[in-house]
Amino acid sequence: MAIDYEKLALEYHSREPRGKIYTGLSKPVVSQKDLSVAYSPGVAGPCREIHKNPELSFEYTGRSNLVGVITNGTAVLGLGDIGPEASKPVMEGKAVLFKKFADIDVFDIEVAAKDPDVFIAAVQALEPTFGGINLEDIKAPECFYIEEELRKRMKIPVFHDDQHGTSIIAGSAFLNALEITGRKIESTKVVFSGGGAAAIACANLFLSLGVQQKNIIMCDSKGVLYRGRTEGMNKYKEKFALETNIRTLSDALIGADAFVGVSAAGVLRPEMIMPMAKNPIIFALANPDPEITPEDAKKARPDCIMATGRSDFPNQVNNVLGFPFIFRGALDVQATTINEEMKMAAVRAIARLAKEDVPEQVLRAYNTAEGYHFGRDYLIPKPMDPRVLLYVAPAVAEAAMKSGVARKTVDIAQYTQHIERILGPTKRLIRKMRNNISAWSKKEGQKPRVVIVHGHEDRVIKAAAQMDYEGDVQTILLGNAEEIFSKADSLGIKNFKTKTTIIDPVGDQRCSEFAELLYKARQRKGVTRSAAQHLLRDGNYFASMLVEVGGAEAVIGGIVEPYVTGLKPIMEVIRAKEGRTMNGLYMFSYNKRMYFLADCTVCIDPTSEQLADIAENTARFAQQYTDETIRVALLSFSSFGSNRNEKCLKVANAASILSSRQVNFIFDGEIQADIALNEKLQERDFPFCKLQGQANVLIFPDLSSANIAYKIFSAITGSTGIGPILLGPRHPAAVMERGSNTEDLCNMIYMVANRYVQNQKSNESQTKK
C-alpha cells in the first residue's frame, strides 16, 4: 500500500507547536544579571560598538550564522505560482535542512511582491539582518534578474538555490559519470531539457567545467533553442541558441553523450534514447516524477548511467548536498558573495567524496548492508553522509579566501576540526584522539595495534575496514581467515585481504607458549596445564595473552557474548594495575558538557576503598578528555550524614579515603544526585560543599544504580555515549556490549589506541624526570 505523504504531512505540520521551526536562546537568562546583560541596560554596550563599526554586527550578534530564506512564492516545487503564504511550509523546510546539516540559523521570509524591482528593494533592505540570502522558488526569467541585481547591490552572499544548488550537484555527478564512461569533457555532447532557472544554471556550470558551448543543445517546451527563434525566448535562453536545423528533443539526442532533464515528467520516451552514444549519461531530474524512469531507461539502454532527483532511485541529485555546506563555508569566512570559484570548489569536493569508502553510519541511515561503491549506481554521496560537511564547507571557505571575497581568514585544517562540532561532540572527541594517535605514529614510525575478538562478526569486519581506510590504527582480527575474507567479500568490502591482519588461534604456533604462561600465572588459582591449553582456544584469552606478550597494544572483546565473558580473561591475564581497582565508565556529552559515569559494568558492590579507586580512576580519565574543571560527586541517597545507613557510610568513608590520598581534583560526598548537579542547591543548603559547581564525574554506590542511571540518561537525553570504557587494567582493554554497532566499535578502537599512546607519553615524561 502506497504511503500518502501529503496526508502525513498535514498531521505533522499541524501538531503543536505548529510548523517546523522556532526561535531558541543561545545564552542563559536565569537571573536579573542575565536579563540586564541580554537587554537593557547592558545591551547598549554592543549597540555603541556596532554604531562605530557596523562590521562588528558579525561579532556581537547572531548575524554571522543567520541566513534569510526568501521567496515570493511564484514557482513553488511543481505547484507553480501559489503565493507567499502557501510557500511558507517549503521555506520552513529549507530552514530545517540548514539547521540539521550545517547548524545555520534561518529566518524564512515570504514577500508579497511579484514585481521584481519591489522584491529586490525589500530583500536589499534586509541586508543588515543577515549573513547571507538564499533565494527560493522564484519563477524564471525574473529569478535571474533578481539574483543579478541583489548580488550587485549587497555585500553578503546571495544564492538562488533552484539555479545553483541543482547545477552544483548535477555537475559533481556529471564529472564522475564522465570518468566512469571514459569521456573527455571537451568533446562531450550534452542535451538539456528545460529552459528555466535550473536548466540554464546547469548549462552555465557545465561550460565552466569544460563542456564546449557548441556541444550543448537546449530544448524547452517549444523545442530546440536556435538562432532566430522568437517564441518563448529571453536573453538568458539566447545564450544557448545555436545555428542548427535541429528542432526537436528526439533529433537533438541522436549521437548525444548526455541528457540533463530539469523539465517535466515523461518527456523522454524510451525510443528517444536508443540513438544516443554508447554508455549514455541520463540525468532525469524532474520532481517528483522524472522525465524517464530508471526502469524504462535501463530497459531501453542497459548501458546507461542514470540519475534522478528521487531518493528511492540510485544517484539522487539532491540540493541538500550543496546549499547548507556552501553557506557554512561562506559564512565562516564572512564572504561577500558566492562566486564561481566557490561553486566549482563545491562541485569537485562532492565528486571527490563519492570515491571514498562509505562508513557504516551512512549504511545504517539508508538501511542497507551491501555498501556503496563508486560506480554507475553511486556517482555522488548520499545526503545523509555526515562527511559532506567536512569536504564541502572547507573547500568553499578556502576558495573564498583564495579568490579574495573573504573578509575573514581561517586555517583550513583547524577550521575543519572546528566545524566537526556540528556532527556532535563525540565526533570532535574522536577527531582529537585520531590526531593524537597520528602524531605519535609518525614520530614512532608505527601504529598502535588493537586485537579484536570475533573477527567473523559483520560489525568487526566493517570496523576493521574503516580503520584500514582511515589509517591511524592497525587492527588484528581473530578467527578463520578464509571465513573472514569470504564475509568481507559478501559485505562488498574491497582489498580487505591485502590490508587486514588475521590470526587464527586454533592453529597458531604461539598457543603452546601462551598456555604455559597462563598456567604459570594461574596455577595457584585452579588452572592446570590442560585447562590453560583449553582456555587458549577461546579468542578472549588468546587476545589478552597477545597483548600481555607485546603482540598488540590493546584488546577489545565482547560484541557477541555477555560482558562478563569478555571481561574475565582481561581480569585474569592482563590484570589490574598494582593496588588498583578495575571499573567501567560511560562518557556522555549533553548541553555542551561532558559527563563521566562510573562504575557501570564491573564492581557489583564496591567497598569504600574500591569506590575511592573508582573515583580516582575516573577523575584521571576525565582530566584527559575535557578542559572543564573536574568535580567528582560520590553519590548516595543521603547528603552529608542526613542518613546513617551503612550504605551511606560506605560512600562517606570513600570520600575520607580520597582526602587521605591528597588527590588533585575537587570531590565531595556522600551527596544526593540533585544536589551534586545543582549549584544553587549547594549554595543554599550546603554552603560547605566542596564541589562549588555542577559535578561532571558521577560515582555511583553500586553497579545496579550506575547501570540503571546511564541507560536512563542515554534514553531520555538522546545523548550518544562512549563506552563501556574499562579503567584500571595494566594494558588498554575494552569489552563491548552486544548491542554495540560498528560506529561504537570504531570509537572504542580509537579510545583504547589513544589510551596506549597517552600511557607511552606519560612513561616518556616520567623517564625524562
> For the residues of 504-547, what is the DSSP string, one character each?
-TTT-TTHHHHHHHHHHHHGGGT--HHHHHHHTTSHHHHHHHHH
> For the residues of 226-295, what is the DSSP string, one character each?
BTT--TT--HHHHTT-BS-S--SHHHHTTT-SEEEE-S-TT-S-HHHHTTSPSS-EEEE--SSS-SS-HH
Strand partners, 727: 583
Bond preceding residue 679 cis, omega within 30 of 0:
no
Residue 423 to residue 387: CA distance in whole angstroms: 9
Write out the catalytic residue numbers: 39, 94
Evaluate whether 108 touches 88 at the Cβ level (below 8 Å). Answer: yes
Q: Which residues are CB-neighbours of 108 under 8 A, at least 6 positions away?
A: 21, 68, 69, 70, 88, 91, 92, 94, 95
Q: Name the DSSP class of 127.
A: G
Q: Which residues are CB-neighbours of 191 under 8 A, at least 6 positions away?
A: 216, 217, 218, 219, 249, 252, 253, 256, 258, 259, 260
Evaluate whether 568 touches 516 at the Cβ level (below 8 Å). Answer: no
Residues in the chain: 769
Q: Residue 359 carries which side chain, given as an amino acid letter? A: P
Q: In the Cβ-directed half-sphere of 532, how many Cα atoms lie within 13 Å?
A: 23
The three three-digit cell numbers of residue 196, written as one number: 528555466
- Beta strand 216-220 with 190-193 is parallel
The DSSP element (H or E) to which 394 belongs, if any, is helix 387-402
The Cα-based distances of 693 to 235, 677, 678 in angstroms read 66, 8, 7
The three three-digit cell numbers of residue 492, written as one number: 562488498
Q: Is 605 helix (H, G, I), strand (E, B) or coil?
A: coil
Evaluate whether 700 touches 597 at the Cβ level (below 8 Å). Answer: yes
Considering just the CA atoms, what is the radius of gyration of the chain in Å?
31
Residue 24: count other Cβ atoms within 10 Å of its Cβ.
Answer: 7
Residue 245 to residue 587: CA distance in whole angstroms: 70
469 phi, psi to nearest 5 deg? -65, -45
Evaluate whether 217 touches 291 at the Cβ level (below 8 Å). Answer: no
